Amino acid sequence: MLINPQSLLNHKMASVNDEIAFQMSPYFTLYKDGRIERLRGPESAPNSDDPDAAVWSKDVVVEPETGVSVRLFLPKLTDADKKLPLVIYIHGGAFVIGSARSEVFHSFISSIAEKAKVIAVSVEYRLAPEHALPIAYDDSWLAFQWIMSHSDGLGPEPWLNNHADFSNIFLGGESAGANIAHDVAIRAGNSADFKDDRKMSGLFLVHPFFGGKDEDKLYKFLCPSSSARDDDPRLNPAADPRLAQMPCKKVVFHVAENDFLLARAKAYYEALKSSPWKGEVEILEIEGEGHGFHLINPSHPKAGIVTQDLVTFFTS
């Protein structure tokens, strides 16, 4: 039997191209050649401007050149002149999946806005590996600066001008989004434009991604410039010399007993308590549950614990 040399070459190339760098089933597969196969398509939730809706939402483009945008959530108002606490949320997804428009994140933040009576802003950043880290950090910082441009009531978005209380800001996120939110808080504390620590009431880190044995490998793949070791402050924020200037009064950690990211989160919680940063730190651990359980199954009885604790945080 004759063997076509080109067929052999094509087979060899296909084998090389199909080498997996990191797999997180059933969500995505990353290949060593830089390709990504997202195993679940986006499930976008529509916005609502129904006058009878409990929460209105809309999308606003922050930077047309890059597509960075935000999704805003405004609860039904009984007093149109009352200023509401401002919650800035950054979604998770291992830096490679997810969207502010995804049904799971839309529903979660809509529920928070309704129950806590807050105006919420969910950040839409560009995803890796097509946009290698640290692009997601820079996009989120840009969105944060855009949000803050409304603090004098003269920004481009009326909802923020008219309804956001910029003396009562909460910043946070889920998983990779918690990691990004923490980085935004560090930048804010070291920015000449954001020196008043009374502006940020709190930082909330839900099942935060600060790495782990396998996760460090993923992070290095997505962020080639990172050492993916303890000297990278985005994976080990306790080592960040800028930590003392983090401009929030309180940091709340939400962790889950069976979360593969639990060890690093608890290690940072302990380090933060004894760090030069002067603020209050608190942790809530849910027994018997895994990473993102409250988003995977919002009807889970323990999912309400996460939501209610955040509502209390935003309103106390």
Q: How far apart are CA 53 and CA 12, in angstroms?
A: 57
- Domains of the chain: residue spans and CATH: 44-315 (3.40.50.1820)
Q: How many residues in the chain?
A: 316
pLDDT tens for residues 121-177?
999 999 999 999 999 999 999 999 999 999 999 999 999 999 999 999 999 999 999
Alpha-carbon distance values, 150 to 55, 153, 158, 163, 235 (Å):
21, 5, 9, 10, 31
Q: How far is CA 150 from the centre of its chain?
A: 21
Q: How far is CA 67 from the centre of its chain?
A: 17
pLDDT tens for residues 192-240?
877 664 479 999 999 999 999 889 999 999 999 999 999 999 999 999 9
Name the strand (E) or helix (H) holding 306: helix 303-315
Dihedral, CA atoms, 202, 204, 205, 207, nearest 10 degrees?
160
pLDDT tens for residues 25-61?
888 999 989 899 998 766 799 999 999 999 999 999 9
- What local confidence, expressed as pLDDT, does residue 10 receive? 45
pLDDT, the chain, mean: 92
Alpha-carbon distance values, 312 to 53, 84, 115, 274, 309 (Å):
23, 14, 10, 25, 5
Share of the chain above pLDDT 90, in %: 84
- pLDDT of residue 6 exceeding 60, the answer is no
Structure tokens at 215: 């996760």
Structure tokens at 262: 């639990």
Are the beta carbons of 185 and 248 closer than 8 angstroms?
A: yes
Q: How far apart are CA 308 and CA 316, in angstroms?
A: 12
For residue 301, whether the previous peptide bond is cis, meaning omega lies within 30 degrees of 0, is: no
Share of the chain above pLDDT 70, in %: 92
Marked catalytic residue, from 175, 201, 226, 275: 175
Marked catalytic residue, from 183, 232, 240, 259: 259
Catalytic residue list contains 111: no
Q: How far apart are CA 283 and CA 205, in angstroms?
A: 9
Structure tokens at 290: 């895994």
Catalytic residue list contains 275: no
**Residue 133: which residues within 8 A CB-CB, separation 6 or more?**
95, 219, 222, 223, 226
Catalytic residue list contains 300: no
Q: How far apart are CA 37 and CA 99, in angstroms?
A: 16
Marked catalytic residue, from 131, 150, 291, 294: 291
DSSP per-residue codes, 214-268: HHHHHHHHH-TT---STT-TTT-GGG-TTGGG---SEEEEEEETT-TTHHHHHHH
Which of these, 83, 84, 77, lies nearest to 52 by C-alpha position?
Answer: 77
pTM: 0.93
pLDDT tens for residues 64-102?
999 999 999 999 998 888 999 999 999 999 999 999 999
Q: How far apart are the first and last CA of the chain?
A: 78
- What local confidence, expressed as pLDDT, does residue 213 receive? 84
- What's the DSSP call for residue 97? S
